[in-house]
Each structure stands twice: as C-alpha cells, then as structure tokens.
Structure 1
C-alpha cells in the first residue's frame, strides 16, 4: 500500500519525530486518501512498533531509548540463534544447504581485493536473504513469525547499518568478521552442531550492536542516515 510505505518512510526519516501526535484529517490530506485507510495505516504501523495507541484511540509516533535498540538487537540474536540450533539439530536437506551456500557465495563475491572494497548494495541484499533462509531452515513457523516481529524495527534488522551514508570504514571492516561468521554458521549447521550454530548466530547479531554503539557514541551524524535511529533518545 502506497500510503503505508509513504507514512513509514516519513516516520523513519524524522519528518514526524518521536512523541508527535498524528491526526487523521491532516494525514488524509498529506497522503491524499480518506480517513478510513489512514486509520488502517496507523494501526499497521502500531503493530510494527513505530506508533503507540493512545487511550482515546489516537496514535503517537513512538520514541525509543538506546536500551530499547540494544534489546531489539539482542532479541533478534536470541531468536536467530534458536533457529540456527534447530536447523542443525533437526537436520537440513541438501537443497536447503545448497541454498544457504549459494547465498554465502554471493556474499563472498561482494568483496574486492582491497580490504575496504565491498559492494554494499549487493551485500545488503544477499545478507538479508541469508538471514531469512537461515530462519526458514529451522522448520519452525513460530520462530519465523517471532523473528519477523523482532526485525520490524528497522534498526534491529540484519542490514540496518548497510544503507545510505552509513557506509563508513568502521562498518566496512565489520563485514569481514560477519562474513566469516556466515561461513562457520553454515559449517555448523551442515555438521549438525547445534550449540555451536546457536553461539555463532548470537555473536553475529552482536556486530549490529557494536555498529549501533559506534553510531550513537562515536559518530552521532550517522543517526540521521540509518533508518529509524532518528527515533532514538540516547
């Protein structure tokens, strides 16, 4: 839905700061739709965690603390770790392993000869797919649903720090570590090593936490380029 995407984009870019009360009439005019679909759009964004419902039935843009962002990333790590362990313990078909290895190869191809040479657009796309397939291979619809819920907040997604002007040296360097973790994670799943797969997946999520710390405390200007970080109140 165009209106949903447009309002989501406005919130994530800071057009509506955290704490802003949203009014149906003005939003209907801005989005050029009637009030009924405006209510539907706001309800959807409340489900995604970007809006809070007020007691009187209205909506306000949600603001987040640094701790909220850390917790969201940690939760994703726990869930993906569980997915990796289940995939390893339950066993994955050869087709499933081939799919994961094919994505791993695509990620490898994103790196050039120079240490800081990375095709970030291609990496971001393949990385997002790797994480989706990893969770699917757990065979658990419950885990899949909860991971989707945890990653609705954009700063908690696997590719949160791979967009816009966030392509800085500190983030590029972390990609080499992340890619090595991708390789060992595939090996652990193929080897039916559940505990090892879970540990690697949880450590993998901690890279996003380190990037968050860098953006917030070392280079605050990056908070304007990473989707959703403008909603943070450090």
Structure 2
C-alpha cells in the first residue's frame, strides 16, 4: 500500500473527511469542495487535497474530469464484487498459510479465537452485545489468517479492499441480530472457521482456499437479507453510500 501520510494534520483530516462520508454528512453524488472542507475542518488546503487523493484510492470519492472530487455511490453489484474479491484474497491467504506447514504453536492464536467463537455461538440466546463480541472475534480470526499467510502483497491488496467498510468480514453481521435465521448463519460461519483451521493444520492448501472463498459468500447472504429491510441496512457502516435497485 502507498505510504501512509505522516503529517498528523493530514491524518486527522483524512479520518474526519472519511467519517463525514460514512456518516452521510456528505451525500453520494455531492461535489466535495476543497475550500468548503477547509472551512469546515479548520485546516489548510494541502492536507485536504492529500486526504481526497487517498479517499479516491480507497474508492470513496471519484475524481471529476473537470477537476475536483465527488462522493461515490455504490450499487448492490459493487458491494457483491468487493465481497467476492475479499473472498478470493482470503482464499489465497488460507492457501498460503496451509502451504507453510505451520506447527501447533504458530496456530495457537487462530485456535484460541475459534474456541472463543465456539463458546459464543453455543449460547442458547444471543444478545446485541454477543453479536458485537462475535464481530470483534470474527475480525480477529480474519486478521490472524492474513498474518499466518505472511505475504506483504496479500496484506496490501486486502487492506485496499477493506477500505470499503461494507466489504469487511463483519460489515453485515450486526444486521443478523434481528433475523430469525441469525443463529443458523452464525453456526454455518463457525463451521467454516473450524474447517479453515483444520485445513491449515493439515496442510490442505486447496481445501483451505475453497473454504475461505465459500465463507465469504455468507456476507453476500447477509447483504441480501439487509437490503430487504432499510432499518437493518442502516446498521451497516457507510449505508448512506449504498444505492439499491429501484430506489
């Protein structure tokens, strides 16, 4: 990935501007005025310009042919493509981890996360707090999987995909809390986690790749459930950027 901005003002500006977009304070299709952001955030033009270039790289804004930037909107197809691409990259990460023939010590972290997730999913009823814990542990699982691949190229590529908030592994998990089939989806996801760990432990690279790709498809299922209910969709980070069919 490109070198991160070192100037603290630039970093702050990037974070603040990204938050304005994800919170819906800057709407899809809205032109982002450098001077307007300068006044709004109380910073100089240089960090604003750098932040906008970075947000274009992340895919949250588009550069206009005439100059300037506009907040990007995302279709359901865009999100589905991002989720599928994440699945491909995570499949490669699982494959690489399996190929490395890691010993039990190296896999202790991943095994511990799977055990914590097992304890959570086995509970007879799940609260909103439990779903938050699941999201946290799920993010740790995916982060540990990437670390086990030990591939800077894969890490950079995945970080680029995950800069879109609704492409992340936990983006649509919170919407499950209100779904009748929520436990079924979590049980399936946890079976995937255990199977991926098993494939990596046994050095089954092709199986690990396939399982990780299949696991990412649950996010597609969650997306499809979320778009049926606007209240559920609104729980997704960056939901204001999503344009549904027929909306």
Q: Same fold (TM over 0.5)?
A: yes
Give the whole-Å Cα distance in 2 for the aligned partners of 1:160 and 1:138. 23
- The equivalent position to 1:200 in structure 2, one of 186, 193, 211, is 211
**2:233 aligned with 1:219, yes or no?**
no
Residue aligning to 1:66: 76
**2:195 aligned with 1:184, yes or no?**
yes
Residue aligning to 1:77: 87
Give the whole-Å Cα distance in 2 for the aligned partners of 1:57 and 1:109. 53
Counterpart contact for 2:121–2:186, Cα < 8 Å: no
Give the whole-Å Cα distance in 1 for the aligned partners of 2:182 and 2:146. 24
**2:39 aligned with 1:52, yes or no?**
no
Unaligned runs of 5+ in 1: none
Partner of 1:137, secondary structure, is helix
What is the deviation of 1:171? 4.1
Partner of 2:66, secondary structure, is coil
Q: Deviations over 1:109-158 (max 9, x none)?
A: 33353144571222211111110110121122111111111111111100
What is the deviation of 1:172? 4.8
Residue aligning to 1:27: 37
Change (3 A) 1:43 1:76: same
Give the whole-Å Cα distance in 2 for the aligned partners of 1:123 and 1:114. 15
Per the normalisation by structure 1, the TM-score is 0.91
Residue aligning to 1:89: 99
Partner of 1:94, secondary structure, is coil
**2:192 aligned with 1:157, yes or no?**
no
Partner of 2:121, secondary structure, is coil
**2:114 aligned with 1:119, yes or no?**
no
Give the whole-Å Cα distance in 1 for the aligned partners of 2:26 and 2:33. 12
- The equivalent position to 2:150 in structure 1, one of 131, 139, 163, is 139
What is the deviation of 1:159? 0.8
Change (3 A) 1:167 1:228: same
Residue aligning to 1:104: 114
Counterpart contact for 1:116–1:173, Cα < 8 Å: no
Partner of 2:24, secondary structure, is coil
Residue aligning to 2:3: none
Give the whole-Å Cα distance in 2 for the aligned partners of 1:40 and 1:93. 44
Give the whole-Å Cα distance in 2 for the aligned partners of 1:9 and 1:174. 30
Unaligned runs of 5+ in 2: 1-10
Give the whole-Å Cα distance in 2 for the aligned partners of 1:103 and 1:10. 33
Query: After the TM superposition, which of the residue ranges 195-204 and 69-78 deviates more from structure 2?
Result: 195-204
* RMSD (Å) for aligned C-alpha atoms: 1.8
